[in-house]
Structure 1
Amino acid sequence: MKIEYTKVGDYYLPNLYYPEETRPIGLWGMLRKEYLKEHKSGTYTYLLLTARLDSYLADLNEQAQERFELIEAQMRSAEGVTEELKRQNPMEWVRHCNNIRNRAAEIIKQELERFRESDTEMFSLEAEIHHYIDILEPVFRDAGQEM
């Protein structure tokens, strides 16, 4: 692999390219991204530097959106919000649909909260990084270098 450089002043900087994600990140992905930025900056930085952040967020968004649509459909069916109600009383139908959407969104947000707390893959990744830092830090210190 050939790396190209651009001269900026007296320095040569590598031309780095970040692969574009064509899938949308969406609401659920943006919420997760903000959480990672605020509470898990190491994980956020790792995903960003390894060019996996956008695909991770797009996957999470797709899964959350599918779950949201499933919950919404189940609630509509359980509460009798049908096309017949829409024809008979449109305002009542809209009220029910908005109520169902809001409740389904809250359920997804709560599931994402639990996902944050039990995201063992991400936590194990952070633990692994810290483990290697703990191993390498004394080696560099003994060699007289800063890490």
Structure 2
Amino acid sequence: MNVSRQPAAVPDDAGSGAARGPRARTRRLMLETATRLMQAGATPSVSEVAEAAEVSRATAAFTRGHRIDLLKDAIAPLKHRLPPREFNRLAQALSLIFGVEVLIVLKDIWGLDSRKMMSVAQWAAGALVRAAVTESMAGGNRRAPATAAE
């Protein structure tokens, strides 16, 4: 008897060495749900994503140290369009506008409300992505910072 609320279908990447097990399924479900909500125009909190995914909020907590993975997952569709060095540079640049720090700056320095803070952060992220793609297409390989992952 299948009592899981998650789809019974095997994900496309299951045979490619992707992580398996309950944690991996929950993580994929949370990321898919967050993506769907954001594509619909929402800026959900972890609690809202957990509720939409029908996952316990306690189970859904993102643990410290996973920002790099989250950023790289978010820009994964660009992996085939950007060379590895430029892909890593884009993830590094996006990390500047990812997290509570950017919201504190926009609130404390600029006095923006939540809606405007999210609008500015989303605009900045879009500008960084467009710049990375444009530079890559133009062959403008500027010197990217080295990373520990390289």
Q: TM-score, normalised by structure 2?
A: 0.33
Q: Greater share of strand residues, 1 or 2?
A: 1
* TM-score between the two structures when normalised by the length of structure 1: 0.33
Larger CA Rg, structure 1 vs 2? 1
Task: Say which structure is richer in helix.
Answer: 1
